[in-house]
Structure 1
Amino acid sequence: MTQTVDGRARATRPPVPRLVPLTGALAVFILLCGLGIWQVQRLAWKTGLIATVEARLAAAPVPAPGPDAWPELTQAEAEYRRVTVSGRYRPESDRLVKAVTARGPGFWVMTPLDTDRGWQLLINRGFVPDSARRPQDRDLPANDVTISGLLRMSQPGGGFLRANDAAAGRWYSRDTAAMAADLGLGPVAPYFIDAEAGPDADALPIGGLTVVSFRNSHLVYAVTWFSLAALWAGWLIYLWRRGDGGRPGASQDI
């Protein structure tokens, strides 16, 4: 299309149906609002998780669940419960799992325990630094012990982009079933216990390093997305009133 301005012909763009840019603008607005609503939902979930974990940490320890309860255990129902169990560690059966803790990089020491109730589970006895990975660097009680700590569900597969390799002795997650198979054990609990800190806070392995604080920034994220949605809506209203027909970035034809 052309129109004459001061006697000169100038090309003009054909009119764009107003419904097309309006639909796209509304889709962006709905997306921003949807992201804000999702963060509100995440906020409710994270707040509930924190309250649940705090309540479980404050509760008295209970006996570790036995085989009859294993099929019903779920992460949501059981994780971070304080439990206790008695038995005897299996000698020369530690498995080291890569870890990064408040004490720096190193390993979790996972050791199977033959319980006095006739079944087996793995205990995360605590953390050792890279410089203390030899068996002689950490004591293993030879007598019966009673362990108190936090119930943690098995972590199958491995870590981020790194799979467990039992044959090479490389472990990146605390996979109880894979470790039991590597050790030639029978069925073990589908969870392990993070042992509490011992009386000597510096004795290896160091227990009680379970991270039980959870970052909760979902409110900030929700406010951010809703603010962007409001700004987007305000910008569209401004363009509409200016006469651009709701087309972001459009300019009036001369």
Structure 2
Amino acid sequence: MTAADRSARLRGLIAPGLAALVCLAILVGLGVWQLARKGEKEALIARIIERSHAEPPAAPPPFADWDPKADEFRRVRAGGILLHDRETLVHGLAPGEPGRALQGYYVLTPLRREDGTTILINRGFVPTELKDPQSRAAGQVGGETSVTGMLRGSEVRTMFVPESDPARDAWFTREIPAIAAARGLTNVAPYLIEADATPNPGGWPRGGQLRVDLPNNHLQYAFTWFGIAACLVGVFSVFAWRRLHDPMEPGAA
């Protein structure tokens, strides 16, 4: 092979080489991002577990500075009167028999506090057959009551979750501002409380549905991206070696 041929073949590697470098940078970046997400998820899980065992203080005032990253999953206590006539049912699933989920609703009931402010309380899950409040009237606590649970922000709708329709009273995510507006609530906190597993009268709704066993597959995802990056390096190395050392150019007669 002459020097001119070798130089021509090297020039022919510039475009595929640049494309491979761009793809490699993206793949490595995705792997590094997954490692960062792994650290964030582990910190979140540790924070949830730590807070779930802490003595619950009073819930913060509704109009205090609310920082979901810092305040979510904090265990708190709130007292007031539950407004059962303004409850909202949000479609959802709950663990049932092994390998089978129960279909039903999460019951969000406003808690009117002594100072006139309101907090939405996710009191727990009811199966579809108990959708009608009259079928679980025993669980409608009257008078002053106290609720203990975890602080949560509004639920973010994902791609595969239908959009809520307040006009039809069909809710698929726990959207605090939208629910408050639909129920005519004022002075509503920007967070809700996920009630703990303290049994309700009559057994329903069933609280304590918040799970701390959050999936943490980010290390697996990182290895996947790094593996694809390694395959890309290997494939391009073979391609470049053959391009530079084959006696004939690809496609030559």
Q: Is the alpha carbon distance of 1:58 and 1:252 closer, same or farther for their aligned partners in structure 2, counting shifts above 3 Å? A: farther
CA contact (8 A) 1:158 1:172 kept: no
Q: Extract unaligned runs of 5+ from structure 2.
A: 1-7, 97-101
Aligned residue type for 1:31: I
Cα distance in 2 for residues equivalent to 1:234 and 1:176: 51
CA contact (8 A) 1:153 1:191 kept: yes
Larger radius of gyration: 1
CA contact (8 A) 1:97 1:170 kept: yes
Cα distance in 1 for residues equivalent to 2:16 and 2:159: 45
Relative to its length, the structure with more strand (as a share) is 1
Q: Percent identity?
A: 35
Q: Which residue among 36, 43, 46 is the counterpart of 2:38?
A: 43
Q: Extract unaligned runs of 5+ from structure 1.
A: 1-13
Aligned residue type for 1:94: E
| 4+ residue runs over 6 A deviation | 156-159
Question: Which residue pairs with 1:27 in the alignment?
Answer: 22
Cα distance in 2 for residues equivalent to 1:159 and 1:244: 45
CA contact (8 A) 1:89 1:111 kept: yes
Normalization by structure 2: what TM-score? 0.83
Cα distance in 2 for residues equivalent to 1:215 and 1:149: 21
CA contact (8 A) 1:18 1:245 kept: no
Q: What do the CA deviations read for 1:60-117 (whole angstroms, capped 9, x no partner)? A: 2111111341xx2122111111010111112422211111111311001111111134
Q: Which residue among 128, 133, 138 is the counterpart of 2:131?
A: 133
Cα distance in 1 for residues equivalent to 2:193 and 2:175: 12
Relative to its length, the structure with more helix (as a share) is 2
Question: Which residue pairs with 1:144 in the alignment?
Answer: 144
CA contact (8 A) 2:151 2:192 kept: yes
Secondary structure in 2 matching 1:65: coil
Cα distance in 2 for residues equivalent to 1:196 and 1:74: 22
Secondary structure in 1 matching 2:174: coil
Count of residues in Structure 1 that have an aligned counterpart in Structure 2: 236
Secondary structure in 2 matching 1:227: helix
